[in-house]
Amino acid sequence: MKNKIHFLKTNKVGFVLGAVLLAALTECVGNADGQNVVINVPTPVVVAPAVVQDDYVYYPTYGVYFNKHGHQYYWLKGDAWVTQPEPQGVTSDVLLASPSVDMDFHDSPANHHKEMLQKYPRNWKPSAVHQDQNHDQNHDLKDTGPDHDKKQLGH
């Protein structure tokens, strides 16, 4: 007896199926190399922050500066500058009714205060022409400034 084990019987149909299978696998491998995957990453939009320059009004009688854009009051207390949303030692209404000068600098009042003290001493009063402008300007500040307590603080 002859024991023959055939692992694979080949005939024309088996051969054709094998060739088709081999061709299909080869085609898949060949196409995988040619495939491109495209990932679109949107370009980030960078928006520059709006730069608002500080704009100050100085009240020489009280040595107080008001930042129109920041709605903050600045004054020198000892050797340190104080910044608060309301003036110290005077109500905002009294301060706004006092003589004032628009500053032409846009950085910290600390950088200009010595010059302002010489140019506008505490007893400084505007000329008649400036008095009308001062009144209009103070009226505008009342309309755009922050609400303040009406209490009178000790000076």
pLDDT recorded at residue 46: 85
Distance CA(90)–CA(152), nearest Å, equals 6
Dihedral-angle region of residue 89 (phi above 0 means left; psi in -120 to 50 means alpha; beta otherwise): left
Q: Say how far apart CA 86 and CA 66 lie, in whole Å.
A: 9
pLDDT tens figures, 125-147: 988 544 445 545 554 555 444 44
Whether the predicted pLDDT of 73 surpasses 50: yes
Rounded to whole angstroms, how far apart are CA atoms 116 and 110? 10
Is the pLDDT confidence value at 47 over 50?
yes
Instruction: Tell me the whole-structure pTM to 2 decimals.
Output: 0.53
> pLDDT at position 12, please?
73
For residue range 75-133, what is the model confidence (pLDDT) as tens digits?
Answer: 999 999 999 999 988 998 999 999 999 999 999 999 999 999 999 999 999 885 444 45
38-52 as b/e, with b when 16 or more CB fall inside 10 Å?
eeeeeeeeeeeeeee
